[in-house]
Amino acid sequence: MFLKVRIFIYLFLFLVLFNSCTDSHKYSIDPAFSDYLQRFENEAASRGRQLDPKSSGLIIEFGALANNDAGLTHYETPIRIQIDKTYWDDITLSANADLMKENLIFHELGHGLLGRDHLNTTLENGDWKSIMCGGTTVNNRPWNVNYRGVRRNYYVDELFNPNIANPSFSSMILPVDTTGYNPIYQLNFNNSQEKSWPIVDDAQHTTSLDNGRFKFQSKIDAYYIAFATLTGPINISSNFSYELTFFYPTGNATNFYGLAFGPPDASASTNKSAEYFSVNNNQKMQMGNRSCYSFFTELSEPAIFTSGTNKLKVFKIGTFIYYFINNTYCYMSEITATNNLTIFGFIVPPQSTLWLDNFVIAQNSKTNVSARIKQNIQVGFDMQIIDKFIPDKVKAN
Considering the chain, tell me which residue range(s) the CATH 2.60.120.560 domain(s) occupy. Answer: 181-386
Residue 17: per-residue pLDDT = 47
Residue 373: per-residue pLDDT = 45
Q: Model's pTM, two decimal places?
A: 0.90
Residue 22: per-residue pLDDT = 52
Q: Which residues of the chain have pLDDT under 70?
A: 1-22, 233, 265-271, 366-376, 387-391
Look up the CATH superfamily of 181-386: Exo-inulinase; domain 1 (2.60.120.560)
Residue 372: per-residue pLDDT = 44
Q: pLDDT tens, 311-356? A: 999 999 999 999 999 999 999 999 998 888 888 999 999 999 999 9
Residue 390: per-residue pLDDT = 64
Residue 193: per-residue pLDDT = 79
Q: Which amino acid, residue 18?
A: F
Is residue 188 within 8 A of residue 357, CB to CB? The reply is yes
**Residues near 204 by beta carbon (within 8 Å), at least 6 away in sequence:** 218, 219, 220, 385
Which string of b and e fits 138-175 if b means at least 16 CB within 10 Å? Answer: eeebbbbbbbbbebbebbbebbbeeeeeebebbeeeee
Residue 234: per-residue pLDDT = 81
Residue 262: per-residue pLDDT = 87
